[in-house]
Structure 1
Amino acid sequence: MGSGDDGATTQLMKIAKVDLRGLQSNTMAWAEARAAVTASMAAHGYVVVVHDALDAELRRALFGRALPELYALPFDTKKSSGAFSNGPHRGYDGQVPSEVLESVAILNPVEPGNVRDFTGRLWPQGNPGFCDTIVSFAKNVLELAQTVERMTLEGLGVHEESIAWQLFSQSHTARMMLYGTPPDKETSNISLGAHPDDQMTTVIAQHEVGGLEVQVDGGRWLAVPPEPGTLIVIGGDQLTLVTNGRVPACIHRVRAPSGRERFSVLLSRRRKGDPIMRAMDELVDEDHPLMYNPCSHEEYRAFRLSEEGRKLREHNPLKAFCGVEKDGSKE
């Protein structure tokens, strides 16, 4: 599938949702939800969940006030927001003021001090309401991300010690996205081309304007509607590597909304620092031989951003970089 409007049909069929509200571990309800989460993640690399991480009040504060305030700022002010902008997608993205797609990232936003520092670069006089909203969003959604990741690993048979280390070993980033009004409102333009993430997992909260699509069996595209009370959790290349291919990275894209701005907020998790990542021991055996060589995330990320890696954007770049054949040689 190309990243442009290549004629592929987007299906509006209803996507199954898993209700994770009020669950307690070691209960029948937890086990049933875990089975559903694992099945969806293992089949497609994503799961849509019903959860109260983003209730009506927090949703209004996030999409009705915080993001509009952020994107009303002058271009130069937004560009100065990045504290860790060492490379694409790590600070402010949006090369010109008229860019259709803009995004701003905050590293470790559950820490109020990090968000205050970020806010101070944009509003020297402070903006406590913005800070409170982002921290509340990050804390609530981080808990959900960890729950989905735990359920998936439990469902795959990973031991508790390995799960605990996996959850502890990750950092997280909030990225606030604005898809502006597309220049051609009469076509179904693709404003973010098809790709897998290079993260471990990403939770995506959409506002009232749709656009997110995920790819499933046979290359079909499914629209993920922006329903209040639901969030989508997608797996990335890091999760594919550590699960030895048991969870595929979700291929997804965004169609330009028709004549309306579109907001979304992402909470992405990735391994802290730049350790050598490898498949979990429990997920490598005779029935599931090693699929990926251990690799450095930063080296893989550099490959993803290279000319060769960009050409493979939709065609399993992880396999091209560190894939293993049955004889142990590199793909």
Structure 2
Amino acid sequence: MGSGDDCATTQLMKIAKVDLRGLQSNTMAWAEARAAVTASMAAHGYVVVVHDALDAELRHALFGRALPELFALPFDTKKRSGVFTNGPHRGYDGQIPSEVLESAPVLNPAEPGNIRDFAGHLWPQGNPGFCYTIMSFAKKVLELAQTVERMTLEGLGVREESIAWQLSSQSHTVRMVLYGTPPDKETSISLGAHSDDHMTTVIAQHEVGGLEVQVNGGQWIAVPPEPGTLIFIGGDQLMLVTNGRVPACVHRVRAPSGRERFSVLLSRRRKGDPMLRAMDELVDEDHPLMYNPCRHEEYRAFRFSEEGRKQREHNPLKAFCGVEKDGSKE
């Protein structure tokens, strides 16, 4: 993965989309959309949805003002944006020779105090417009993320009480990203193939394409940055709690246009560092346990280790805590 040969096989086929606008639970339309969402998530670990969470006005405020304003700040200023916990990629990243992207995360920005604290590190006088834009994005996309996760779990047969606990047990992070010109013109790769270590991630792209998802064991499909659409991606945590019923989506960023591009991600993960384990409803004779319980921080440390990096394009979760059968890991 990530080689020139792989890049040449990227498919520009039309990706199926699920329209979630105006749905009411316990209706036929909800059931039909839930079936489509679950089918896509179970097959590939992602689903592209049509939704008005990011309307034209908010999209312009986000990509036309907030992100350009943020990334135009001096490097030393951006470094002050804060680190909400220790470890790689948990604060501002950028201007690193080996990487072509800049990114800045905000923890739980749907809560007003958090985004104001973040902005206060960058603009001592405050920046109400920036705060309002990021908080609005977080609130609307967080609601959508919970809806898609609920549909997926319902479609898999998880009980309501388990779904309610699953949704309430997660924190969220918004990460703003600027991708520069790809360093390798032959591959045009800006970010190599990987799965996310989170539960889920919703990605909003702006104008310039680049996101690609892997399907059918190796085929790459480009996800166009169409207004009114967002892509919902399952991560390693979701693969573990669903006992492998939802695979972690392997994806990458490849920008053959050579243009800079913005994207904003809303990621969700289990709060704190509890033991993650498969939901009881999703383990049975037909679906034996695939992953042993593990703590997220221990798994994340493995992902960034030398051994874990070798598994980046494959299944690092299986390498870390896969259930061994007949002397091998399933």
Superposition map of 1:151-300 within 5 A = 151-183=151-183, 186-256=185-255, 258-300=257-299
State whether residues 75 and 97 of structure 1, in contact with CA within 8 Å, keep that contact through their aligned partners in structure 2.
no
- Alpha-carbon separation, structure 2, partners of 1:158 and 1:219: 30
Aligned pairs, number: 329
For the Cα contact (< 8 Å) 1:4–1:193, is it kept in 2? no
Tell me the CA shift for residue 84 of structure 1: 1.2
Give structure 1 stretches of 5+ with no counterpart: none
- Over the aligned positions, Cα root-mean-square deviation in angstroms equals 1.6
User: Structure 2: how far apart are the matches of 1:250 and 1:99?
Assistant: 22
CA–CA separation in structure 1 for the residues paired with 2:3 and 2:124? 41
Q: Which amino acid aligns with 1:182?
A: P
Give the residue type in structure 2 aligned to 1:128: P
Deviation at 1:97, TM superposition (A): 8.6
The code of the aligned residue for 2:53 comes to: A
Does the 8 A contact of 2:193 with 2:312 survive in 1?
A: yes
Q: Kindly indicate whether the alpha-carbon contact (under 8 Å) linking 1:179 and 1:256 is maintained by their aligned counterparts in 2.
A: no
Q: Verify the 8 A CA contact 1:176 1:266 in the aligned structure 2.
A: yes
Query: How far is 1:326 from its partner?
Result: 4.2
Distance apart, 1:256 and its partner CA:
3.1
Contact 2:237–2:269 (8 Å) recurs in 1 = yes
Paired residue secondary structure (1:79): helix
Name the SS of the counterpart of 2:4 in structure 1.
Answer: coil
Q: Do 1:18 and 1:33's aligned partners in 2 also have CA atoms closer than 8 Å?
A: yes
Do the aligned partners of 1:324 and 1:330 also contact (CA within 8 Å) in 2?
yes
Map of 1:110 onto structure 2: 110
CA distance in 2 between counterparts of 1:329 and 1:99 reads: 35
Q: Does 2:8 correspond to 1:11?
A: no
Distance in 1 between residues matched to 2:327 and 2:281, nearest whole Å: 19
Per-residue deviation, 1:329: 7.9
Q: Name whichever of 188-197 and 165-174 sits farther off.
A: 188-197
- 1-side partners of 2:40 and 2:265: how far apart? 20
Q: Distance in 2 between matches of 1:179 and 1:153?
A: 33
* Seq. identity, %: 87
Q: Which residue does the alignment assign to 1:57?
A: 57
Kept in 2, the 8 Å contact 1:41–1:248? The answer is: yes
Q: Secondary structure at the match of 1:130?
A: helix
Partner secondary structure for residue 268 of structure 1 = strand
* 61-70 or 187-196: bigger deviation: 187-196
Distance apart, 1:100 and its partner CA:
2.2
Against the structure 1 CA distance between its residues 240 and 49, is the aligned structure 2 distance closer, same or farther, given a 3 Å change threshold? same
Separation in structure 2 between the aligned mates of residue 238 and residue 138 of structure 1, nearest angstrom? 21
**AA aligned opposite 2:307:** E
Deviation at 1:4, TM superposition (A): 3.9
Q: State whether structure 2 residue 126 is matched by structure 1 residue 126.
A: yes
Q: Does 1:70 align with 2:70?
A: yes
Aligned pairs for 1:15-34 (under 5 A) are 15-34=15-34
Query: TM-score of the superposition, structure 2-length normalised?
Result: 0.96
The answer (yes or no) to whether the contact 1:182–1:258 under 8 Å persists in 2 is no
Gaps of 5+ in 2: none
Residue in structure 1 matched with residue 89 of structure 2 by the alignment = 89
Amino acid at match of 2:128: P
